[in-house]
A and B are shown apart, each in its own frame.
Chain A
């Protein structure tokens, strides 16, 4: 008990620094706002990333964004512009290759180390402050200038406005491509528009959480939300709430310390996901229990997602359908 307390105190002393907190907060107000803006964008875009199964692409884009930023650093150009060029370029290439999950993955796998390698090359050639180098990979919050904040706000307005316009078709195209295409939706344009939006969001995230940890902002909150609900509207709301919690919470905790911001963000993000996963497991246990008591289904509700989709054979489900009653308790 007392041992634990000592450990906790020493850990707390090095990681959580709250000296002159109020002063710091007002000094670093820009950072908090940047985090809030990023949380909103990350939560929204993350939902579509999950729907479209693009997690791996996000990682690939982030590495090329890093390469772009490193190149900008080397030639003395604006780092934000550099990372934006890198990520939008990467996103567009992936978009035009018509990437969706499976075929895309190998391509992203090829592109990603190339981007990372380029970035490391540029950084090793760069002779400026080394803290700049490190922050591109792991994030920073101290030096969010007003100019940087303004550019982030402008970019996020662009992202949000675009998402609002394509909201329904993009949701349709992402969750039910076969019928969406039959309805005459421009699948390819939607994919490319979304990739540009994704590229911009990744470039913004790289500024704050760093290239290596973009996923904590663009995947984890949405994944946690999807553990808790299947309603698209609720997924979006929860995802934004979780992303804000991770970003703003992480920044508020990181303000005083010397540790980069990303461990805080990723830890909160992961904790939220862990809780959501437990909630889902508990719920699935109870609803799978309900299911097996009805003659309707032979597969337990929760167990393995893969078993019950796509590959289900006609015979299996036809048999389990026979004698089905009208009653069924709706799943959460």
Chain B
């Protein structure tokens, strides 16, 4: 399942000129608390990057930097070769889950339609064309059954699938998912992660996937960015998800075990910096 990918191949891929995401000596700090620094990273088209780390290590902040909503403390960030704000229209974003108020005047299809043309000025001039696109997207995420239901009454998992459809609507070159599998049952975790993977195969977009549990997406992941203790590791799953790497990151003995293709972490890290242990991160 996780066939080891030779490291040199990754280096050439990420060294390509057409990188979708390019970070150089990037540092992010709030006050005197540094979340990460010295981050050099290129994400190539079609590459799947998983971002892991405990609560509060700056995963969401990392995505906000890529969206241009948060400035780097120092260093540079380019998305599609330009400023993140300028590239935002071609970036699909599945936010860390937050439900809609029950009376939101949107149906499932309207939410997805906003992903298609919600950011354009004026009123919608070709409703039929948008309608068709939306129907296709709903079909792809298996949401056709509740296409006309108000979003406010849908379950968390149903809303999440709509979020994915919405993110794929703009034919993105980069898809950012923040805990997109949270609160999904195993079946729908699989459905959603396959959807994202399928979009990557289909359009060659890059994927940055923030998650607490790498197992549901491990078969698609090319590289992992692991954030911990104000530092980080980047590499293929086999380079990062290792006992020695984890032990070094957390400064204590930690075992990373593999069983049936699933990755398990044993041993508690120093929990003074963390609200949860790697066991919960990568069960």
Give me the interface of A with B, judged by CB distance under 8 Å.
47, 50-51, 164-169, 171-172, 175-176, 178-185, 226, 229-232, 235, 296-297, 301, 305-306, 308-310, 312, 314, 317-318, 320-322, 324, 326-328, 330-331
Contact = CB atoms under 8 A, between A and B. Distances in A.
Interface size class of B (residues with CB under 8 A): 35 or more
Contacts of A226: 103, 105
B69 A182 contact: yes
13 contacts: A165-B122, A168-B121, A171-B118, A180-B114, A182-B91, A183-B91, A183-B93, A184-B85, A308-B152, A310-B99, A310-B101, A321-B155, A322-B185
B230 interface: no
Given A309-B101, A330-B145, A180 B118 contact: yes
Q: Return the 10 tightest CB-CB contacts between A and B, nearest first.
A: A305-B102, A184-B88, A172-B118, A230-B150, A314-B183, A317-B156, A182-B93, A330-B148, A309-B99, A183-B119
Contact of B110 (A232, A297, A317, A321): A232
Interface string B113-127: 011011111111000
Given A305-B102, A322-B185, A185 B147 contact: no
Interface in B92-143: 93, 95, 98-107, 110-111, 114-115, 117-124, 142
A118 B68 CA distance: 44
B119 A185 contact: yes
Given A168-B118, A183-B118, A230-B106, A330 B152 contact: no
Classify the interface of chain A: helix, strand, loop or mixed. Answer: helix
Interface string B67-97: 1110000000000000001101101010100
Given A172-B118, A318-B157, A305 B110 contact: no
Given A306-B102, A308-B99, A317-B155, 17 more contacts: A168-B120, A169-B121, A171-B114, A175-B104, A176-B111, A179-B115, A184-B68, A297-B155, A305-B101, A305-B102, A305-B103, A308-B102, A309-B99, A309-B100, A312-B156, A322-B185, A331-B149
B91 to A, nearest CB: 7
B188 interface: yes
A151 to B, nearest CB: 26
A176 B118 CA distance: 10
A308 B106 CA distance: 16
B121 A165 contact: yes
A328 B144 CA distance: 10
A235 B184 contact: no
Nearest to B142: A326
